[in-house]
Structure 1
Amino acid sequence: MKTLKTILFSLLVIGTLQSCIVSSKPKMDFFSDSGYDFKGARFTSFNVPLMLAKPYIKKALRKDGESEELISLIKKISKIKILTVENGSKEMLNDYAKFLNNNHFEEWATIKHNGENVNLRVKQEGEAIKNMLITVNSHKELVFVDVKGSFTPDDISKMINAVADK
Structure 2
Amino acid sequence: MKTLKNIFLLFLTIGMLQSCIVSERPNMDFFSDSGYDFHGARFMSVNVPMMVAKPYIRKALKEDGESEEVINLIRKISKVKVLTVENGSEEMLKDYAQYLRDHQYEDWASVKHDGDHVNIRVKQNGDAIKNLLITLNSGKELVFVDVKGNFTTDDISKVINSVSDK
TM-score over 0.5 (shorter chain): yes
Residue 135 of structure 2 is matched in structure 1 by 135
Separation of aligned partners in 2, 1:49 and 1:16: 7
Separation of aligned partners in 2, 1:119 and 1:67: 23
Residue 24 of structure 1 is matched in structure 2 by 24
Residue 157 of structure 2 is matched in structure 1 by 157
Amino acid at match of 2:46: F
Determine helix, strand or coil for the equivalent of 2:131.
strand
For residue 5 of structure 1, report the CA deviation from its aligned partner: 5.6
Amino acid at match of 2:76: K
For residue 113 of structure 1, report the CA deviation from its aligned partner: 2.7
For residue 156 of structure 1, report the CA deviation from its aligned partner: 1.4
Q: Which stretches in structure 2 are left out of the alignment for 5+ residues?
A: none
1:67-146 correspondence runs (5 A)? 67-146=67-146
Determine helix, strand or coil for the equivalent of 1:65.
coil
| 8 Å contact from structure 2 (residues 108, 122) kept in 1 | yes
Separation of aligned partners in 2, 1:163 and 1:29: 30
Cα distance change on mapping 1:159 and 1:102 into 2, 3 Å: same
Separation of aligned partners in 2, 1:150 and 1:102: 22
Residue 44 of structure 2 is matched in structure 1 by 44
For residue 3 of structure 1, report the CA deviation from its aligned partner: 5.7
Separation of aligned partners in 2, 1:107 and 1:3: 53
For residue 90 of structure 1, report the CA deviation from its aligned partner: 0.8
Separation of aligned partners in 2, 1:164 and 1:84: 26
With normalisation by structure 2, the TM-score equals 0.91
List structure 1 runs of 4+ shifted beyond 6 angstroms: none
Q: CA RMSD in A?
A: 1.7
| 8 Å contact from structure 1 (residues 124, 130) kept in 2 | yes
Residues 42-86 of structure 1, C-alpha deviation per residue, up to 9 Å, x if partnerless? 001121011111111111111221111210110101111111000
With normalisation by structure 1, the TM-score equals 0.91
Separation of aligned partners in 1, 2:163 and 2:10: 38
Moved more, 9-18 or 94-103: 9-18
| 8 Å contact from structure 2 (residues 24, 43) kept in 1 | yes
Residue 33 of structure 2 is matched in structure 1 by 33
Q: How many residues align?
A: 166
Amino acid at match of 2:132: M
